[in-house]
Every structure is written in structure tokens, then in C-alpha cells.
A and B are shown apart, each in its own frame.
Chain A
Amino acid sequence: MELALGLANYALFMGVFIGIYAILALGLNIQWGYSGLFNAGIAGFFAVGAYTSAILTSPHAAGRIGGFELPTLVGWVGAMAVAGLVAWPIGKVCLRFRSDYLAIASIGIAEIIRLVIKSEDVLTNGAKGINNIPRPFGDLPYVQSQIAYLAIVIVVLAVVYVAVERQYNAPWGRMMRAVRDNEVAATAMGKDIAFRRLQAFIFGAALMGLGGALFAHFSRSITPEAIDPMVATFLVWIMLILGGSGNNRGAILGAAVVWIIWSVSEIATDRLPHEYAVQAKYIRVFLIGLMLQLVLRYRPEGLLPEPLGGARNAPAATAKATPRNGH
């Protein structure tokens, strides 16, 4: 009985994390999947969102601004708005770079954001982080509280999914793919490439901010240690690539598969004799890397490839998938 309850608790916890990562992956899908922008600074926007919501909703603490104690929903909307606002000047400057260069610039931007957060004591409480962030239904007992939060995350994820998915077949989504696949042709059609790219960058960043806010409220705290590129940037990239960039269901599936492997593999390695306990922990880092290699080698389009020609939900679906060229 206790074990069943424990498993349920663990599954709920995993569900919440998968939901949060799925939102991050959907944000990245707008940027990379739809628009071909190589943003390697997810952690930065994740952090902006997490801290914005933390500052808006947490109780007063000495030594930093805050104590607004606004409703959580305001915090989340604020997180999206501020993450989008921060993305605007960054996109304005950095989106002139193409592919690899944008990746390098965005890694740098994420690092700048991390250092600002660590240094601006008055704003973010510096290296100590922000504590006692309210969690909706956080006063309920353990299981109920997790169920309630999972429900919230699922609702938010559903809203985000529907919104992003609708854009796939909408003119905006088609235009973005045109910009991605053939910039010259799109320019010839009179599309304002720079402006459209900036739009996609800001929308994606806002979703990443939302993911950060959801995480901060779930942990009831946010510290600079959470802005670790390994878990906040590269894991999300692996999720999207494995799931299938350009496909929103793929992004969600990728988030689920990668997080489950990441988390459950530790349970498996724990069965090794405890002399190997320390070494065994590195296996999962290796597993994730191996998985990425295998996917890139044997299935570069991901588990659920991008439906070509806007085929999804369209009656005259031409399901014949031709391998897409790399970006």
C-alpha cells in the first residue's frame, strides 16, 4: 500500500516535471522547429521567468525588493511578459547572426543573465536565491498537493499546446517555415524576415519564462543553481530533437521520454552494488548523450517528424514524407 502510494507520488512528480519541460520544449519548437533559430540560451529565459514570478508573488524578505504577494496567475503572466521583454533587445541584436553564430551568442546571453541574477542582490537576493514562493494548493497534504499542481500544469500545457499547434497551419506558421526553409524566396514574397524572426524569438522566450515560473512555484524556491545549462538548456534541446523538431506532439513526447530515461535510469543504476554508487551516477549522463547520437544518426527527424506541407488535420493529407534537409 505504502509502495503504491509512493509510486503514485513519484509518477505525479514526474508528470509535473515532464509538463514543465514540455512547455520549455514547445517554446524552443517555435524558435527552432518553426523558425530555425538556434537558441542555446534557454536557461536564461527560464531564469528570467522564474525570478519574475518569484519576485511578484513571494512574501517580503529583508535585503531585496519584493513582498508584493500578488496572485500566482499574475506572477505567471508577468513571467511571460518579462521574459518576452528581455528577449526583444537580445533578438534585435543577435538574430542578425545565423545558425552557429546565434547559438554562440545565445549561450553568452544566458551566461550574462545568470551572472546578473547572481550579482544583483537587491533584485534577486543574489546567490542565496528566493525562498518561500507560494505553491498553489501547497498547503494540502503531500499527494493532494502534487495532484493539484499536476492538474494545473496539464491545463497550462494544454493551453500552450493548442495555441502553438493552431499556429502550425495558420498563415503565420506557414510563413515562418517559409522563412526558415528559404529566406530568399520569403523575402521575394515581401516578408519582413528580421521582424518575423524577432516575433518567433519573443514568443518562444515567453513560453520558456512560463516554464521557469511553473518550476519556481513547484519548488517554492529559485536559486542560481537551477540555471544550470545542463538541465535547463541542453536537456530541453535533446527533448526537442529526439521528439521531432517542428512537431508539437513530438516536443511533448520528447520531454516525456527524455525525462523518464533521465530519472528512471537512476533507479536502475541504484540496483548495482553500492561500491559503484558514485560511478553509476554518470551512466545516465552518458545515456542521454548516447541517445542523442543514436537519434541523430538513425532518425534525425525525431520520433514524430514534422508533418510536411501542413498535412496535419488537413483532409487532403499527403502523408508521403520525404526526408527534410538539415537547416
Chain B
Amino acid sequence: MNKKVLALAGSLLAATALTGTAAQADVKIGLLGGITGPIAAMAPAMLLSAELAISEVNGQGGIGNGEKLVQVTGDSACNPQNGTDAATKAVNIDGVVGLVGPHCSGAVIAAANSVAIPAGIALITPSGTSPEITNLKDNDLVFRTVPSDDYQGRALARSLKEQGMDSVAVAYLNNDYGSGLANAFKSEFEAIGGKITTFAAHEGEKASYRSNLAELAKGGSDTLVIFDYGDGSGLTMLREALENGFFTNYVGADGMKSDAPIKELGANNLGTFLASAPVGEKSDSLDVFAKNFKDIGGDPDAVFVTTSYDATFLMALAIEKAGGDKSKVGAALRELSSATDGEAVMPGEWAKAKALIAEGKPFVYKGAAGTYNFDAAGDVPGVYALFKVGANGFEKVADMK
């Protein structure tokens, strides 16, 4: 009984809180981020880049007849409990027309399943990389601006085979990032005739990985593929492997393409180290974004800020196209991304895009992290390249297909 009374009291409290909200003409967009919790260090920069997109929209005419785009920030805390809670509030209490986020895959899956899909609200995540997001039965409402780890893992497998590496050992960090990449890599590499001698997960933040490395080296391969972060346990692992000469060649994915290994280990020691990473398509979009983002005090090299900006900008475009009708935002997103010809719209060019939408002309959004052609599952294929360490940091070796 108490429970019902309290639930009622809670909703009343919510209702009183609501009276303070802005004018009804505003269009609301939900930004769900892992503000507290394990990715607390990354979330503020991602939210800042999303806010950049929103302020550009509002500075250049807003939505529709000059209505303001207003953000509703929710804390998904990187777990499904808070993710669904934040999404429920954004959708039901604030009445957002679209969701950008949550940031972590588990929260994305739960929030999509129990809020966004039943409520018919479109959702774009800028950083949920788990391949499981592809498997959602989402009525074409769930999208992401970051490629699934699946793509990169498979592309890396093909590139290594091309580079003549037929037998490798694989070590991966045991989280959705590491295991997603590693499993995609494994299935592709074995399918094209490569051999994986050892395949082992490791936990992050251990003081030493010598025993893991010794186990990995037993397989007899001279190449180690590490799916980990270059400023965390991946660095420790790489250092110990180099010190003890467990392997001769080392390969990493985008997490390992960080400046930390070069600073800590020295470029001359990393002659046999390769890393794959997504590359922005050859365009000025990234430069435009970087300049604008620096102007408001952001760091354009921070993780996922480009995808977060693009997700928000795309959402705003879709809302404009749908005329602010939340039931049409998903379809508008789909339509936007399938345009392949027409004028190019770059980051910050909201007024131009708005005019094009008003005229009903097709256009291509060239985002900070590339263009977006969502596939049937709402995923985007990434563009990747293989890098080696040269005198001036990472240098591109080859494009990956």
C-alpha cells in the first residue's frame, strides 16, 4: 500500500517540478550519458560536443519556425538500471522527440528494449559498440554513429592476412569492447584460412601480465594481437611483451592507437607495432568540427566526441525533417542517411541544411567522423586504416577493406 502512495507522491513531485519548464514551443532532445559510473571520465566531453551541435542549431534558426532545441540530460551511469530509468524520464516526463545515447552498450540495449522501442522514440547511440545492438528488434528506431566492433575486427583480420600474417595469438580485454573485437576478428581470420594459436581474455588494471603473455607465447606464433586500451592494461602488456621478447610483431586496434605507448616505450622500440583505427573520410568536416569544438573549450581528440556530435546533429536534422513529430523521426533518419547525392552539409552548417530540408532537396551530411549510411540494422560501416609508428607518431600504412 505504502508503495502505491509513494509512487503517487513521486509522480506529484515530478509534476510540480515540471511546472518550471520552458515554453511549450521548445523541442526537446534527450542526451543520455554515463555521467557517473565507469566512463565518468569520457562522458563530459561527449556531452559537450553534443551541446555544441545543439547550440549551433539554436544559433542558426532553430527547429521549424525558430523553436529552440532544448537538451534534457540524463545519467545512464553505464548500467541498464539507470539507463532505463533515465530514458523513461526523458521520454515520459520531459517528452523528448529523440534520444542521443546512452553511452554504454548494456544501457543502450536495455533502454531501447524497455523504453525507446515500445514508446516509438528514435535512439542514436554515439558509443555503444556491442554487436548485440545489431540484433535488437527495433522497428527501425535504433541507430548508431559508431561502427560495431564487428566491422573493425573483421576488417583487421582481412588486412593482417593481406600483410602476410597467417598465424597469430590474440589477447583481449574482457569487456564488450575487447571481446566484441576479438570474436569478430577470430571468426573472420579463421574463415579466410588464418590460424589463431592462442585466444585469451585478460582482466584490466593488473600490475603484471607476464603469466598471461607466457601462456600466449606457448602457441608458437610470433605475432600478438592485443585488443585493449593503449593507456591502460594494453600498455602494460605491450611493455612486458617487448621487455621479455615474447613476440616479434604486435598488432592493436583503435584502443591501442594512443600516444601513450609511443611516449612510454619510445618510437624506436615500436618498429614492429601496427594499429588499426577508424579514419575520418577525406573531408574538411573534421577540421571544421575541431575548430568549433576547441572554441568552446573542448578537446577534439577525446574519444567519441565526433560521433557524439554527429549523432546529435543527425537527430536534429531528422527532427527538422519530421516537422517535430516524434513518430516520424526514425523514418526521417533512415531517409536522411540513404541520400547519396545532393549538396554536402558540413558540421555547423545548420542554416544551410534547414533551407535544403525546407526546399525538399536531398543532401548528404558529411559528419565529423564521416558520412552515415545506416544499414538495415541501423549500423554504420566504418572506414579504417592500418597505422605504424614512425618518427612523428602514427603513420598510415594501408587502407583496410
Stretch touching chain A among B107-115, B259-267, B353-361: B107-115
Contacts between the two chains (Cβ within 8 Å), count: 205
* Cα separation A65 to B300 with both chains bound (whole Å): 43
Asked if B153 is at the interface of the complex by the 8 Å CB criterion, the answer is no
Residue of B nearest to A154 (CB): B3
- Residues B44 and A278 in contact, CB atoms below 8 Å apart: yes
Q: Which of A5-26 contact B (CB under 8 A)?
A: 5-11, 13-15, 17-19, 22
* Cα separation A63 to B174 with both chains bound (whole Å): 16
Asked if B135 is at the interface of the complex by the 8 Å CB criterion, the answer is yes
- Residues B105 and A223 in contact, CB atoms below 8 Å apart: yes
- Residues A115 and B2 in contact, CB atoms below 8 Å apart: no
- Residues B93 and A7 in contact, CB atoms below 8 Å apart: yes
Residue among A15, A17, A19, A142 with max Cβ neighbours from chain B (10 Å): A142
* Cα separation A278 to B20 with both chains bound (whole Å): 20
* Cα separation A2 to B119 with both chains bound (whole Å): 12
Stretch touching chain B among A102-110, A175-183, A253-261: A253-261
Asked if A194 is at the interface of the complex by the 8 Å CB criterion, the answer is no
Of A3, A225, A271, the residue contacting B106 (CB under 8 A) is: A225
Of A220, A264, A278, the residue contacting B43 (CB under 8 A) is: A278
Of the four ranges (under 10, 10 to 19, 20 to 34, 35 or more), the interface on chain A belongs to 35 or more
Asked if A281 is at the interface of the complex by the 8 Å CB criterion, the answer is yes
- Residues B6 and A256 in contact, CB atoms below 8 Å apart: yes
**Given A128-B176, A221-B80, A266 and B11 contact (CB-CB distance below 8 Å):** no
**Given A128-B131, A226-B79, A260 and B93 contact (CB-CB distance below 8 Å):** no
Asked if A285 is at the interface of the complex by the 8 Å CB criterion, the answer is yes
Asked if B61 is at the interface of the complex by the 8 Å CB criterion, the answer is no
- Residues B47 and A267 in contact, CB atoms below 8 Å apart: no
- Residues B3 and A131 in contact, CB atoms below 8 Å apart: no
Asked if B137 is at the interface of the complex by the 8 Å CB criterion, the answer is yes
Chain A's nearest CB lies how many Å from the CB of B113?
Answer: 4
| In the complex, per-residue mask of A267-290: 1 if CB is within 8 Å of any chain B CB, else 0 | 110110010011001100100000
- Residues A277 and B7 in contact, CB atoms below 8 Å apart: no
Chain B's nearest CB lies how many Å from the CB of A57?
Answer: 14
- Residues A128 and B95 in contact, CB atoms below 8 Å apart: no
Asked if A249 is at the interface of the complex by the 8 Å CB criterion, the answer is yes
Of A225, A266, A274, the residue contacting B89 (CB under 8 A) is: A266
Residue of B nearest to A15 (CB): B7
Q: State the 10 A-B residue pairs at the shortest beta-carbon distance, nearest first.
A: A223-B106, A225-B106, A6-B92, A277-B73, A220-B113, A142-B118, A281-B75, A219-B110, A127-B176, A281-B35
| B interface residues (Cβ-Cβ under 8 A, vs A) | 2-4, 6-11, 13-15, 17-18, 20-21, 35-37, 43-44, 47, 51, 71-75, 77-82, 84-86, 88-89, 91-95, 104-107, 109-110, 113-114, 118-120, 130-132, 135-137, 174-176, 178-180, 183, 201, 203
| A interface residues (Cβ-Cβ under 8 A, vs B) | 2-3, 5-11, 13-15, 17-19, 22, 61, 63, 115, 118-119, 121, 125-129, 131-132, 135, 141-142, 145, 215, 218-226, 228, 230-232, 249, 252-253, 255-257, 260, 263-264, 266-268, 270-271, 274, 277-278, 281-282, 285
Q: Enumerate 19 A-B pairs (CB-CB under 8 Å) in ascending A order.
A: A6-B92, A9-B88, A14-B10, A18-B6, A63-B183, A118-B174, A128-B105, A128-B132, A131-B132, A131-B135, A142-B119, A225-B79, A230-B79, A253-B6, A256-B6, A267-B17, A268-B13, A270-B17, A278-B43
